[in-house]
Amino acid sequence: MKKEQILVPVDGSEAAERAFDKAVKIAMDVDAHLDLLNVIDTRQFLGEIQDTVITGDTIYQMTQDAEKYLKSLKDWAHDSLGFDNLDYHIRYGSPKAIISYDFIQDHHDDLIIMSSTGLNAVERMLMGSVTEYVNQHALADVLIVRTDINNKPIK
């Protein structure tokens, strides 16, 4: 029988970290493997800097920052809850497509657990909610976390 695999995309927001916390506890309960994912959306910088090319140094620094962040979450899961059945991944491109299709096809995750949003209202209006897109298009089931561990709504 195939072991359950859960994908948890995180973006550095408090809401995403609450979803990660819940995902770790669910994975522990059902003996599942967690794939922790951070998508570096390099396209977001193109509009801000117009025709300027993102340098290799910038991408390298973004990757280093993402890896440090993901490792801190992995360490927290181990140190706080004794959970080690977790791998972390960094991808580049559109978070919507990578979370909904690409990563699921590559890693065969059964469930995506993510927060309701990491964006403010203006960002959602301009960019569209990644969560909303994933919920409608993902190749796996989606669990959207709207509360923290004490069942209080995430702001």
pLDDT of 154 > 50? The answer is no
pLDDT in tens, 28-58: 999 999 999 999 987 665 555 555 566 778 8
Tell me the C-alpha distance between 99 and 12, whole Å.
16
Domains of the chain, first to last: 5-145 (3.40.50.620)
- The reported pTM is 0.84
Q: Is the dihedral of CA 96, 37, 1, 22 positive or negative?
A: negative
**Side-chain-side CA neighbours of residue 98 (13 Å):** 17
Q: How confident is the model at residue 130 (pLDDT cuts 50, 70, 90)?
A: confident
**Do residues 46 and 58 make contact, with C-beta atoms less than 8 angstroms apart?**
no
**Alpha helices in the chain, H assignment, sequence order:** 14-30, 44-48, 56-81, 95-97, 103-107, 121-127, 130-137
Tell me the C-alpha distance between 56 and 124, whole Å.
29
Mean pLDDT of all residues in the chain?
84
